[in-house]
Amino acid sequence: MRILIAEDDHVLADGLMRSLRAAGAAVDHVSTGSEAEAALLTSQEFDLLILDLGLPRLHGLDVLKNLRARGSNLPVLILTAADSVEERVKGLDYGADDYMAKPFSLQELEARVRALVRRGMGAASTVIRHGPLSYDQTGRVATIDGKMVDLSARELGLLEVLLQRSGRLVSKDQLVERLCEWGEEVSNNAIEVYIHRLRKKIEKGPIRIATVRGLGYCLEKIQG
So where are the chain's domains? 2-121, 127-219
Whether 110 contacts 121, CB under 8 Å: no
Q: What's the pLDDT at 30?
A: 97
**Is residue 44 predicted with pLDDT exceeding 70?**
no
Q: Give CATH superfamily name and number for 2-121.
A: Response regulator (3.40.50.2300)
Assigned architecture for domain 127-219 = Orthogonal Bundle (1.10)
Over residues 40-53, the mean pLDDT reads: 89
pLDDT digits (tens, 9 = 90+) for 108-136: 999 999 999 888 776 667 889 999 999 99
Q: What is the pTM for the complete model shown?
A: 0.79
Is residue 146 over pLDDT 70? Answer: yes
Gap between the Cα atoms of 29 and 62, Å rounded? 18
User: According to the model, what pLDDT value does residue 204 have?
Assistant: 80
- 187 vs 218, residue with greater confidence: 218
* pLDDT score for 164: 87
Cα-Cα-Cα-Cα dihedral of 181, 13, 126, 168, to 10°? -20
The pLDDT-based confidence of 223 (bands split at 50, 70, 90) is low
Which range among 3-17, 147-161, 171-185 shows the weakest confidence by mean pLDDT? 171-185
pLDDT score for 124:
60
pLDDT given at position 123:
65
Q: Provide mean pLDDT across the span 85-99.
A: 90
Domains 2-121 and 127-219 share a fold: no
